[in-house]
């Protein structure tokens, strides 16, 4: 089974989130947050994020990792984001992919600093996976994220040409990130209410479009 660069990074984040060291509280918090966010953002970009994804996050009684349970509560409490499928493409593809790209970039920056500090402070094994594989995965994840942004905003002929011109990825399992924007990102926003239209009718219309 091939693994994506994001798989390697989320595995490292989980490793840091579950550290059993009294001096690693910050690493546990950052690791847990990045672990959950990257998993969620991958699913959002590849069209696999369920509308009820918040209910799928690990609850306090479902994980022995306090840091992950706390990060899950924080993530579940955020406002609806443009990259969520339940947002219904209210701002169009551009707003959805901008929001996704910004959130992903923040997480990748946090992972880069966490990896640097983990090696320098001895919070991980001094082996090839941490010193070479993970930095390579991080570099690939940054590249794949930028490519994913471009692939999402191009129309289909331009996207296919773009993917072809980029050549093979260093991590082939990153390919799902180069798919077209999820259908939910491409939905049109509900039009403004024209004069004389009953609010109840508009609300029913919004509900129907959201449930499509």
Q: What is the pLDDT of residues 5-31, one digit of tens each?
A: 999 999 999 999 999 988 899 999 999
d(CA 3, CA 134): 12
Q: What is the total count of domains within the chain?
A: 1
Is residue 206 one of the residues assigned to a domain? no
Would you state the pLDDT for residue 198? 41
Is residue 211 one of the residues assigned to a domain? no
Is residue 198 one of the residues assigned to a domain? no
Is residue 202 one of the residues assigned to a domain? no
How confident is the model over 112-121, as pLDDT tens digits?
A: 999 999 999 9
Is residue 199 one of the residues assigned to a domain? no
Would you state the pLDDT for residue 60? 63
Would you state the pLDDT for residue 162? 78
Does the CA dihedral 87-39-159-51 come out positive or negative?
Answer: negative
d(CA 61, CA 40): 20
**Full domain range(s) for residue 166:** 5-187
User: 20-25, long-range: CB within 8 Å, 24+ apart, which pairs?
Assistant: 21/123, 24/123
Is residue 204 one of the residues assigned to a domain? no
Is residue 68 one of the residues assigned to a domain? yes
Which parts of the chain sit beneath pLDDT 70?
Answer: 1-2, 60-61, 86-91, 166-168, 188-212
Q: Enumerate residues 6+ apart whose C-beta is below 8 A from 161.
A: none
Would you state the pLDDT for residue 167? 64
Is residue 52 one of the residues assigned to a domain? yes
């Amino acid at each position: 089974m091939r693994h994506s660069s994001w798989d390697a990074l989320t595995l490292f984040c989980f490793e840091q989130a579950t550290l059993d060291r009294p001096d690693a509280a910050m690493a546990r918090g950052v690791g847990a947050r990045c672990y959950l966010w990257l998993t969620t953002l991958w699913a959002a970009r590849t069209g696999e994020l369920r509308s009820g994804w918040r209910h799928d996050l690990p609850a306090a009684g479902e994980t022995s990792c306090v840091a992950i349970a706390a990060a899950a509560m924080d993530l579940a409490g955020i406002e609806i984001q443009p990259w969520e499928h339940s947002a219904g493409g209210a701002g169009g593809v551009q707003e959805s992919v901008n929001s996704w790209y910004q959130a992903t970039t923040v997480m990748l920056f946090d992972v880069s600093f966490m990896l640097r500090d983990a090696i320098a402070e001895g919070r991980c094994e001094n082996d090839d996976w941490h010193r070479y594989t993970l930095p390579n995965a991080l570099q690939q994840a940054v590249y794949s994220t930028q490519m994913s942004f471009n692939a999402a905003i191009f129309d289909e002929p331009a996207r296919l040409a773009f993917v072809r011109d980029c050549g093979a990825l260093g991590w082939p399992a990153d390919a799902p990130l180069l798919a077209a924007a999820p259908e939910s990102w491409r939905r049109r926003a509900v039009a403004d209410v024209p004069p004389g239209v009953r609010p109840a009718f508009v609300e029913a219309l919004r509900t129907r479009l959201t449930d499509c």
